[in-house]
Amino acid sequence: MPISAWHIEGMVMDILFKVLIDPFLQMGAMPDLFVQTIWDGFVTGVLYALIALGFVLIFKASGVFNFAQGIMVVFAALTLVGLYEMGLPAPLAVLVTLGVMFVLAVAIERVVLRPLVNQPDIILFMATFGITYFLIGLGELIFGGNPKQMITDQLYLPRGAIEVKMLGGFVQFQKIDIAAAVIAVVMIVALAVFFQKTRIGRALRAVADSHKAALSVGISLNQIWVIVWFTAGIVALVTGIMWGARSDVSFGLQVIALKALPVLILGGFTSVPGAIVGGLIIGIGEKLGEFYWGPLVGGGIESWLAYCIALGFLLFRPQGLFGDKIIERI
């Protein structure tokens, strides 16, 4: 059958309609579904932001890109659940887990960071790869590879949902999601204050700028690093609890942590507010993309959409939305 010019024009118009117009029509036709999708994206975004926050903390304070943040989240969550299953009451389990994260922070500082003090960044980055694999193996060995249930009730986290009648339909807000958003905001504000107003926060920023200079003014690098990694550990635990409460606790989470990278690209590697904004953009963008454009190509685009969004940003602003402009001097 010969393909005429009309035919081709028809196909093109059809594609343009499906991609550029129809999704928005769908959004308008069922606004409650639209709001639901945005809320879901918002919640995912908050959780991405929490993971990204861990990265930002360590990078901001020590210049190390801690690839192991994802596995730290999983490890913290696994430890908490594991301890509870061994019989510890929930509040004690939380404390012991914090203790474990502290020990982990000290161990990492002593075994990995101290010997690599003045090596180029890429070496430190690769070292965190090593930590990741080590913790994956260790976690699987101690806790087994099966997914686990987060102890939401025991931690006094809310269950159930609130249904709000709006825009011609219903929008569901899971209480745990609201709790997650609130907790995230509280943590972020606390961290921002910590960095800006306290003496230790200042020292952290000094170390991020230059190890040698910080040493020369008497800042103890070792102490700072332990504090930073421990703080990141706390963030990891909170993140792990929140993530685990929504789905379950498994090693698949580690790969989801890779999603934090596009968040960091958007928000910059050193900006706490940037992590939030970046997280929200990626979370909402992903959900909207998957729900309204995904069906056009067979679905599943959530796996790569975030990276492409980040890539697009990088081409126009190589330093991200909030990052510092890179000036090369020769």
Partner 1 sequence: MFYRETGQFKTNYADDMAVFPILQDRIGIALILVVAFVVIPLAGSNFLLSSVMIPFLVFSLASIGLNILTGYTGLISLGTGAFMGVGAYACYKLTTLFPEVNIVVWIVASGFFSALVGVLFGLPSLRIKGFYLAVATLAAQFFLQWCFTRIPWLYNYNASGAIEVGQRTLFGINVTGAKASLEARYMVLLTIVTVLTWVASNIMHGRIGRSFMAVRDMDIAAELMGIDLLKTKLLAFAVSSFYAGVAGAAMMFLWYGGGEANDAFNINQSFLILFMVIIGGLGSMIGSFFGAAFISMLPTVLKFGLPALGIPLAGATAEHLTYILVGALIIFFLIVEPHGLARLWQIGKQKLRMWPFPY
Please report, as ranges, the residues that interact with partner 1 according to CB under 8 A.
65, 111-112, 115-116, 119, 122-123, 125-127, 129-138, 140-141, 145, 255, 258, 261-262, 265, 269, 297-301, 303-304, 307-308, 310-311, 314-315, 318, 328, 330
| Distance separating alpha carbons of residues 233 and 71, to the nearest angstrom | 11
Q: How far is the CB of 261 from partner 1 (least distance, A)?
A: 5
If the CB atoms of residues 135 and 214 are measured against partner 1, the closer one turns out to be: 135
Q: How far is the CB of 225 from partner 1 (least distance, A)?
A: 15
3-class SS string, 261-275 = HHHHHHHCCCCHHHH
Q: How far is the CB of 316 from partner 1 (least distance, A)?
A: 9
Question: Which DSSP string do the residues of 37-91 spell out, in sequence order?
Answer: HHHHHHHHHHHHHHHHHHHHHHHHHHS---TTHHHHHHHHHHHHHHHHHTT--HH
If the CB atoms of residues 170 and 304 are measured against partner 1, the closer one turns out to be: 304
Instruction: Identify whether the C-beta of residue 79 lies closer than 8 Å to the C-beta of residue 322.
Output: no
If the CB atoms of residues 111 and 166 are measured against partner 1, the closer one turns out to be: 111
Instruction: Identify whether the C-beta of residue 56 lies closer than 8 Å to the C-beta of residue 213.
Output: no
Question: Which DSSP string do the residues of 186-223 spell out, in sequence order?
Answer: HHHHHHHHHHHHSHHHHHHHHHHH-HHHHHHTT--HHH
If the CB atoms of residues 93 and 208 are measured against partner 1, the closer one turns out to be: 208
Q: How far is the CB of 104 from partner 1 (least distance, A)?
A: 13
Q: How far is the CB of 131 from partner 1 (least distance, A)?
A: 6
Instruction: Identify whether the C-beta of residue 283 lies closer than 8 Å to the C-beta of residue 237.
Output: no
| Distance separating alpha carbons of residues 240 and 257, to the nearest angstrom | 11
If the CB atoms of residues 242 and 277 are measured against partner 1, the closer one turns out to be: 277
- Tell how far CA 270 is from the center of its chain: 14
If the CB atoms of residues 238 and 309 are measured against partner 1, the closer one turns out to be: 309
Q: How far is the CB of 122 from partner 1 (least distance, A)?
A: 8
